[in-house]
Amino acid sequence: MSSIPMEYYLILSAFMFSVGVAGVLIRRNAIVVFMCIELMLNSANLTLVTFSSYLGNPIGQVFVFFVMTVAAAEAAVGLAIIIAIFRNKKTVNIDEINIFKW
């Protein structure tokens, strides 16, 4: 553990987060966007775990459990919404689901 410096984990985490953000902003498939959001959550988890381990404070790991629980619930709800949208519009392409406007 101690042989790998903390920065590596953090850089990895930042990279994963950036990939997630880019995916959310760029991809058009709702499922992929959804996966990218999971990626962002997990990168945050990684940061929490890293700091928890290096600082010797278990609270970070407790947080991660919470995040995972919420992420699981969110995945269930999010997928359900996507399925509902698909049933209505026969597509999960975000470009075609632009009803959030005046």
Q: Binding another protein by CB under 8 A: which of 25, 56, 87, 90?
A: 25
Contact status: 95 vs another protein (CB under 8 A): yes
Q: Is 88 in the site for another protein (CB under 8 A)?
A: no
Would you list the DSSP string of 23-71? HHHH--BHHHHHHHHHHHHHHHHHHHHHHHHHHT-THHHHHHHHHHHHH
**Is 94 near another protein (CB under 8 A)?**
yes
Beta bridge partners of 93: 29
| Interacting residues toward another protein by CB under 8 A | 21, 24-26, 33, 94-95, 97-102
